[in-house]
Amino acid sequence: GLFLFDVKHTPLGCATWPALWLTDASHWPDHGEIDVLEGINGGAGTGNMMTLHTAQGCSMGGRRNMSGKALDSSCYVKDNDNAGCGVQAASGDSFGDAFNQKQGGVAAVEWRDDGIRMWQFARDAIPADIAAKKPTPDAWGAAAADFPNTHCDIGARFSNNSIVANIDLCGQLVEASWNSSSCGSGGAKCSDVVATKPGEFANAYWEFGAFEVYQAS
């Protein structure tokens, strides 16, 4: 299938951990998790993180055609503190304030047994075939993130997923880099920011234009 997400605004603010993802909450991690858009503390300068999380027996490696930077290779949730097999977007304006200032854009996920690919298009660079409701992924060039089935049986590891958009406050991913971030300067704790600084969350919201789902004919 092909998922297209028209995203107008990603959440900002210290202590925030927003994500747009696909999963089967009743059978996690056996049915897999696909993180499409994810950032912490507003994604300041780091851009979007695209990640797969799975049960045992799935990893990434070998030849991958993508513009993003591969991070951990193991997708297994019990490896590397459930970091998953992530890809860091090549551009810092793929999430957060820089993304919002450009009126957002479209995130695309192509899910096939051969692999999972993701793209991001800025508002002024959305392909004409998407605007025409005739999306053609093979015409879009290198993906932002490429997760091939070379060392992962995609058909067996991913099934029955639903779309989830949420915003966590604090949590493992935020806490891991809190002290080294500008949000943690001065010794402020993440929980203290949540409890005492409501102004931090004035822009902590998602805004979507549309979700579109296509199936290959």
Residues 6+ apart with CB under 8 A from 208: 5, 6, 7, 8, 165
Extract the tokens encoding 211.
């979700």
Q: Tell me which residues are annotated as active site.
A: 33, 38
Cis amide prior to 29 (ω within 30 degrees)? yes
Residues 6+ apart with CB under 8 A from 141: none
Question: Which DSSP letter does residue 135 get?
Answer: -
Give me the residue label for tokens 């959440």. Answer: 11
Measure the CA–CA gap between 180 and 199, rounded to whole angstroms.
22
Measure the CA–CA gap between 84 and 107, rounded to whole angstroms.
20
